[in-house]
């Protein structure tokens, strides 16, 4: 019999996320109206303090922490709940909300609050890049180039459309690279235009793999192969529109632990935040945290 979702929580919202500042007060009111007693509620306007705020919530002994923000915010704080007796709940206030989509959460505030108030607990995997936990997906190639250069206000005011416009600008300056993936079968070398490290199905709000799962006990590395960067554009197009031809453009590798390297050396964006550089070891942290999902 699964344990019930706690009825008390601390709410932490990244008030600098695209919708966080506008929705903080609404979220607080709606959660309490739905029967969730908030021990404390924090609108965090400095993203550098988000991690400290969640860590303090965990140390306080709260049975649940509800975090409102985008994928980068969520990935930045999951380290603080691993191995702790606390439930992690999500309010999807970001641009792509890939982790929320992976968990099957509604993307509107009313739906997300209802999922927390009436949902159930689910034990899920996290990904790891070296010693850093992440919730959903990491990428090497065009994504880090976009992540390090996209103007914050472009994402804030135009959402996914603004992000797409910036991606087109970066794509014109992007070049493929050589990648090496080492798994139990040995080293696999190939040209690539993008490498995706998936714990869940979504990346950038788009389904990247029907096979990736937060309960699989393994990571999936997906490589868009070839030296022609237009293969990457076609792959994203095919995945966005769910075309059958999308699987012809990629190679996939699965395992509990794999090694990843590239030439020239490349940076890795982890759920939208550029936080690592190859070579790295990719691992799965199996059944790492309790989350709330719709019932």
Q: Residue 13's beta-bridge partner residues?
A: 43, 68
162 vs 133: CA distance, rounded Å: 28
The residue extents of the domains of the chain are: 8-125, 134-286
Region label for 150, one of left (φ > 0), alpha (ψ between -120 and 50) or beta (otherwise):
beta
- The distance from CA 284 to its chain's CA centroid, rounded to whole angstroms, is 14
Query: Which CATH architecture is the domain 134-286 placed in?
Result: Sandwich (2.60)
pLDDT in tens, the chain (295 residues): 778 999 999 999 999 866 777 899 999 999 999 999 999 999 999 989 999 999 999 999 999 999 999 999 999 999 999 999 999 999 999 888 999 999 999 999 999 999 999 999 999 999 999 999 999 999 999 878 876 767 766 666 676 677 677 778 888 888 999 999 999 999 999 999 999 999 999 998 999 998 899 999 999 999 999 999 889 888 988 888 888 766 778 999 999 999 999 999 999 999 988 899 999 999 999 999 999 999 9
Q: Which residues does 158 contact at the CB level (< 8 Å), separation at least 6?
A: 165
Region label for 160, one of left (φ > 0), alpha (ψ between -120 and 50) or beta (otherwise):
alpha
Fold of 8-125: Rossmann fold (3.40.50)
Query: pTM for the full model?
Result: 0.91
């Amino acid at each position: 019999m699964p344990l019930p979702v706690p009825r008390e929580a601390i709410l932490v919202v990244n008030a600098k996320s695209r919708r966080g500042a506008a929705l903080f007060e609404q979220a607080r009111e709606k959660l309490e109206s739905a029967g969730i007693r908030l021990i404390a509620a924090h609108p965090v306007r400095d993203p550098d303090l988000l991690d400290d705020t969640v860590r303090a919530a965990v140390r306080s002994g709260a049975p649940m922490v509800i975090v409102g923000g985008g994928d980068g915010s969520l990935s930045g704080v999951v380290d603080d709940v691993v191995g702790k007796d606390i439930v992690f709940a999500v309010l999807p206030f970001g641009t792509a909300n890939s982790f929320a989509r992976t968990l099957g959460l509604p993307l509107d505030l009313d739906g997300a609050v209802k999922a927390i108030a009436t949902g159930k607990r689910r034990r899920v995997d996290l990904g790891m890049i070296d010693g850093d936990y992440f919730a959903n997906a990491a990428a090497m190639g065009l994504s880090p180039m976009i992540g390090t250069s996209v103007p914050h206000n472009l994402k804030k005011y135009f959402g996914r459309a603004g992000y797409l416009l910036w991606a087109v600008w970066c794509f014109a300056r992007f070049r493929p690279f050589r990648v090496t993936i080492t798994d139990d079968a040995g080293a696999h070398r190939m040209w690539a235009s993008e490498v995706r490290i998936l714990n869940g199905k979504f990346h950038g709000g788009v389904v990247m793999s029907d096979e990736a799962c937060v309960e699989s006990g393994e990571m999936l590395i997906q490589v868009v192969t070839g030296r022609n960067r237009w293969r990457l554009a076609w792959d994203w197009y095919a995945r966005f529109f769910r075309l059958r031809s999308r699987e012809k453009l990629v190679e996939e590798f699965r395992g509990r632990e794999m090694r990843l390297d590239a030439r020239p050396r490349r940076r890795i964006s982890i759920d939208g935040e550029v936080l690592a550089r190859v070579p790295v070891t990719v691992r799965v942290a199996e059944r790492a945290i309790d989350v709330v999902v719709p019932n």
